[in-house]
Amino acid sequence: MDRWFKIDNAGKIFRSVSNKSNTSIFRVAMIMTEPVQKDLLQEAVDIVIKRFPTLAVRLQQGVFWDFLDQNDKRLLVKVEEEYPCHPLKAEENNGYLIRVLYYNCRISVEIFHSLTDGTGAIEFIKTLGYQYLRLCGKDIEDEGLVLHPEELPNRYEMEDSFPKYYQPVQAKRQNEQRAFHIEGTLLEPFGTNTTHGVMSASGLNAIAKSSNATITEYLTAVLIHSIYSQNMKYGIYSKPIKVTIPVNLRRIFPSKTLRNFFTIVNVGVKPSEELSFEKILTSVSAELKEKTKKNNLNNVMASNIKLEKMLVARFVPVFIKNIFMRYGFENFGENAKTITLSNLGNTRLPSSMHKYVRQMEAIIYPTRKSPVNCGVCTVNDSLTVTFSRTIIDTGVIRSFFSFLALESGLEIKVYSNKWGKSL
């Protein structure tokens, strides 16, 4: 079959803006209880990649839009040698925009964001982990929680859900106030440092619940508090601290797509001398609940799709569109946020797989104006918060984990990839 896919609404932006300092490549990883065997992992990839045709693609250039073409070459598994989310050279990867890496007990999948979002990536790594464990001879069942590798992909998984669920409304794009940006000296040599903190998901949930908040709301508040206490407490700052939170639209619309289907909301707090953690949490909870209501999310989605559907814009060659998209991304997207916090949620694995999977990680690529980003992933009651950074300063990250450990009383186990001279 000779398949091709249009790049979806969210994916078009990532295609336009990606470069060395903003790779648009994110990682999800599964830490197994035993070291990974390369040959079996390669065998598993060979089987599983056919189940995910929207990931088995190469990028092709078009006149008005680029597109994704079916890739029949082999996706080769590689040992991890570079820092996470480093730029993807298509010609070195048989044209794939996805890489599968292994190191010790970790299986990592790094994906160019034009292909899918966190949900799609989690589904892929679940199926990959399941198939790998089966090839290892483990007695496991899918229990209806894993997309079975031998099933045929259905068309709902391959659909672009943005135009399907988009409801045209007179949505005006709100000009957001410029946010405070974390600044610092870039790591030398340039790369991404990752710092992971592992904690009990139920423990954190209990603490968040005691404050009438969800885990995402609680972590967002801790993050804002950390940025405030490390960067702004003793200065005069007028710009708000804003956290960009990707929202999975599958929770609102009945989509089964494995492609991008998310939007983002910005949650912010203006710094003041009397800013306490409790005040931040109350404000964040209220704002996030309001902004994630269906109507509001539909408005955000509609304003994004409106631009793509403009008749005049459609006939503009893609290289000119890319210039405008880069400008929009830098001036409206990046300027309006301080940091991204992406919570991929609790990954439900079959109970027979639990004893073989220790934890999962999600790494969000940093960008030039957002040099520290945060990814959260949970499996088997083990919640991993991962900070990725391209700057030397660790103040925010240290403050974040220390707050959680000292104020909330959680036991937090921290490790890092040690990239950069400061460590």
Nearer to another protein, 292 or 378 (CB): 378
Q: Select the residue interacting with another protein from 1, 39, 81, 295 (CB under 8 A).
A: 81
103 counts as binding another protein under rule CB under 8 A: yes
314 counts as binding another protein under rule CB under 8 A: yes
Q: How far is the CB of 64 from another protein (least distance, A)?
A: 5
Q: How far is the CB of 17 from another protein (least distance, A)?
A: 21
Could you check whether the bond before residue 189 is cis, i.e. omega within 30 degrees of 0? yes
Nearer to another protein, 65 or 237 (CB): 65
324 counts as binding another protein under rule CB under 8 A: no
Q: What secondary structure letter does DSSP report for 186?
A: B
Distance CA 186, CA 371 (A): 9
Spell out the long-range contacts of 118-121 with Cβ–Cβ below 8 A and sequence spacing 24 or more. Answer: 118/26, 118/28, 118/246, 118/248, 118/262, 118/342, 118/344, 118/362, 119/248, 119/250, 119/258, 119/261, 119/262, 119/344, 120/54, 120/55, 120/257, 120/258, 120/259, 120/260, 121/26, 121/28
For the segment 366-405, give every residue that binds another protein (CB under 8 A). Answer: 394, 397-398, 401-402, 405
69 counts as binding another protein under rule CB under 8 A: yes
Nearer to another protein, 183 or 411 (CB): 411
Distance CA 46, CA 100 (A): 11
Q: What secondary structure letter does DSSP report for 185?
A: P
Please list the alpha-helical segments (H only) found in 68-180. Answer: 118-135, 155-158, 161-165
Cβ–Cβ under 8 Å, residues 60 and 155: no
Nearer to another protein, 233 or 413 (CB): 413
Say how many residues touch another protein, by CB under 8 A: 48
158 counts as binding another protein under rule CB under 8 A: no
> Binding string to another protein for residues 33 to 62, with x set by CB under 8 A, is what?
--x------------------------xxx
Q: How far is the CB of 39 from another protein (least distance, A)?
A: 19
Q: How far is the CB of 197 from another protein (least distance, A)?
A: 7
Q: Say how many C-beta atoms besides its own lie within 10 A of residue 116's C-beta.
A: 28
Residue 161 C-beta-side C-alpha neighbours within 13 Å: 25
Nearer to another protein, 181 or 389 (CB): 389
Residue 253 tokens read as: 């619309």
Single-letter code of the amino acid located at 350: P
- Only segment of 2-10, 240-248, 271-279, 339-347 that touches another protein (CB under 8 A): 2-10
Cβ–Cβ under 8 Å, residues 338 and 369: no
167 counts as binding another protein under rule CB under 8 A: no
Q: Select the residue interacting with another protein from 282, 335, 352, 416 (CB under 8 A).
A: 416
Pairing between β-strand 262-269 and β-strand 413-416 as defined by DSSP bridges:
unpaired
91 counts as binding another protein under rule CB under 8 A: yes
Q: Select the residue interacting with another protein from 64, 319, 327, 332 (CB under 8 A).
A: 64
Cβ–Cβ under 8 Å, residues 242 and 338: yes
Nearer to another protein, 32 or 267 (CB): 32
294 counts as binding another protein under rule CB under 8 A: no
Report the largest interatomic distance among the alpha carbons of the chain, rounded to a whole angstrom: 63
What does the binding site for another protein look like in residue numbers (CB under 8 A)? 2, 4, 6, 35, 60-65, 67, 69, 79-83, 91, 103-106, 189, 191, 195-198, 314-315, 394, 397-398, 401-402, 405-406, 411-419, 422-423
